[in-house]
Amino acid sequence: MNQELPTGVALHPLQDAGGVLKNRSFLYLWIAQAVSQTALNATVYILIVKVEEWTGSSTALGLLILSFIIPSVVMGVAAGVFVDRWEKKRVMLVTNLLRMFIVAIFIPLGDAFVLILLINLAYSVVSQFFAPAEIASIPALVPRRHLLVANGLFNLTMSAAQLAGFIFFGPILLKSFGGDLVFGMLALSYAVCALLISLMRMEEPVVKPRALDLKTGWLLEVVHELREGWNLMIKDSAVSISVFHLTLMNSLILIIGMLAPGYVSRVLGIRADDAVFVMAPAGIGMVIGIWILPKLTERWPKELTAHIGVFGTACVLYGLALVGAMGSQLIATGFLTRIGPVDLPDAGGVVFLVMLLALALGIAYSFANVSAQTLVQERTPFDLRGRVFATQLAFANTAAVFPLMFLGSLADIIGINQVSLLTATVVLVAGIFSALQTRKIRALSWQRD
């Protein structure tokens, strides 16, 4: 296991990801994350399409989506208890093997909707154990000075996997091969992930007994250990604020993904399925942010870069709303109809401006998310990381339920721009609140000193 540097030793962040990726164990974990997350999102896409074809019912689709979300809300936090008790490498290996078998079960089910819901529920339950084990393993694979870059790579592939699963692999594979063969290919991808995890070299400190005593008081023991993770977040204000930032940004990325097609079609006046191209610069922005961040944290604390990311995100959302409100005027004035030798269509300048804002959004998101995740990893003991990250993931999914259920309908009623303004204001208020809390914590710390 890579040992963290002792306090007081100067840390020199990597200038690029090359040094991190030379670590074979981390490379295996990173590839396994990219493949498994892409497979997960592709599975979700294919099930949604199939259920729509079989039932033509929005209620059925709602039940399917709930079967993905409910396990995280109900048992996501408790999964962290078991992740902290078990070897994290074994957890990741077993969960990938289980997901391989579960996805394969979809093949003989046909259009048996009730069985699909039950199997999908099991699929989501198993997945609750993988994510916290994966995130908690990163500090055991890379030294502390490389955590920013390692977390940046994971955040980048998380977003790329959503794009690849929903937009690229899911639709293309389904159209090319049909559901049954694709489910077989997805099951095989989980087998590849299990193989990659098995190749990792990861020594873990033994800090808990390997199993719960199921005969006496095991439920009270689980509750007690959940309370330990919760108490850490409450007592360590830097951790609680970082978890708040992670929850905010993870929920926000889902909201933006939901609103982007409507913004592109209703506000910019282009095809909804072109949203992926208009928002693609956000991925480039994430890469830029990941490259810049280690250099900035040599001079600035990670709390500051996280706040910069939150406020930057709010500014971008305000900018998108402003461009949407003034789009027709900008087009009428011939705004940016030419870039160098290239002539743009009437709305080309507005689209280009939105793409620049998407680039800025990617930079701001990486600042907030990567800084916050690294702070939590640095300040959380190894035997509590599973619980803390499982709690954070459960918070993020729970916080996203209400906006995902109602913001789409609200956008239909009052308009996309108004919802963008509302979302930007919520992010701004959240950023001000967290910044004031951080300032208060620092003031108290100075008084003690």
Q: What torsion, rounded to 10 degrees, do the Cα atoms 110, 114, 118, 119 define? A: 0
The reply to whether 46 and 176 lie within a common domain is yes
Between the alpha carbon of residue 246 and those of residues 82, 181, 222, 446, the distances in Å are: 22, 37, 25, 26
Residue 14 confidence (pLDDT): 39
Q: How many CA atoms lie within 13 A of 167 on its CB side?
A: 16
In the chain, the percentage of residues whose pLDDT exceeds 70 is 68
Provide the residue type at 211 as one letter. Answer: A
Residue 97 confidence (pLDDT): 95
Domain holding 189: CATH number?
1.20.1250.20
**Cα torsion 65, 67, 70, 71: sign:** negative
Whole-number average pLDDT of the chain? 75
Q: Bigger pLDDT: 11 or 361?
A: 361
Look at residues 184, 203, 222 and tell me which one is the last residue of a structural domain. Answer: 203
How many structural domains comprise the chain? 2
As a whole number of angstroms, the longest Cα–Cα distance in the chain is 76
Residue 386 confidence (pLDDT): 66
Look at residues 203, 226, 253 and tell me which one is the last residue of a structural domain. Answer: 203
Q: Bigger pLDDT: 268 or 247?
A: 247
The reply to whether 193 and 55 lie within a common domain is yes
The reply to whether 387 and 244 lie within a common domain is yes
The reply to whether 184 and 290 lie within a common domain is no
Cα–Cα distance for residue pair 220/209, rounded to 1 Å: 16
Residue 223 confidence (pLDDT): 60
- Residue 23 resides in a domain: yes
Residue 373 confidence (pLDDT): 81
The reply to whether 40 and 180 lie within a common domain is yes
- Indicate the SS3 state at residue 8: coil
The reply to whether 373 and 295 lie within a common domain is yes
Q: How would you write 171-233 as a 3-class SS string?
A: HHHHHHHCHHHHHHHHHHHHHHHHHHHHHCCCCCCCCCCCCCCCCCCHHHHHHHHHHHHHHHH
Q: Please determine, for residue 139, whether its predicted confidence score (pLDDT) is greater than 50.
A: yes
Residue 405 confidence (pLDDT): 66
The reply to whether 51 and 187 lie within a common domain is yes
Residue 389 confidence (pLDDT): 67
- Residue 209 resides in a domain: no
The reply to whether 252 and 189 lie within a common domain is no
Q: Please determine, for residue 190, whether its predicted confidence score (pLDDT) is greater than 90.
A: yes
DSSP 146: G
What the block records as the tokens of 426 is 């919520």
Residue 143 confidence (pLDDT): 80
Between the alpha carbon of residue 27 and those of residues 3, 133, 161, 191, 358, the distances in Å are: 18, 16, 16, 17, 28
The reply to whether 333 and 391 lie within a common domain is yes
Residue 247 confidence (pLDDT): 83
Give me the phi and psi of 338, to 5 degrees please. -150, 135
Look at residues 203, 221, 249 and tell me which one is the last residue of a structural domain. Answer: 203
Nearest to 281 by CA among 345, 361, 366: 361
Print the domain residue range for 380. Answer: 236-449
- Residue 79 resides in a domain: yes
Q: Please determine, for residue 395, whether its predicted confidence score (pLDDT) is greater than 80.
A: no
pLDDT digits (tens, 9 = 90+) for 191-250: 999 999 999 887 765 555 445 555 555 555 556 556 666 666 677 778 888 888 888 887
Range ranked top by mean pLDDT from 4-13, 26-35, 375-384: 26-35
Give me the phi and psi of 98, to 5 degrees please. -65, -40
- Residue 378 resides in a domain: yes
- Residue 274 resides in a domain: yes
Q: Bigger pLDDT: 318 or 273?
A: 318
Cα–Cα distance for residue pair 293/367, rounded to 1 Å: 7
Q: What is the secondary structure of 394-434 as a DSSP string?
A: HHHHHHHHHHHHHHHHHHHHH-HHHHHHHHHHHHHHHHHHH
Q: How many CA atoms lie within 13 A of 85 on its CB side?
A: 15
- Residue 429 resides in a domain: yes
What the block records as the tokens of 158 is 């998380």
- Residue 57 resides in a domain: yes
The reply to whether 70 and 186 lie within a common domain is yes
Using pLDDT thresholds of 50, 70 and 90, give the confidence band for residue 413: confident
- Indicate the SS3 state at residue 339: strand
Cβ contact 161:39 at 8 Å: no
- Residue 199 resides in a domain: yes
The reply to whether 28 and 91 lie within a common domain is yes
The reply to whether 186 and 260 lie within a common domain is no
Q: Please determine, for residue 281, whether its predicted confidence score (pLDDT) is greater than 90.
A: no
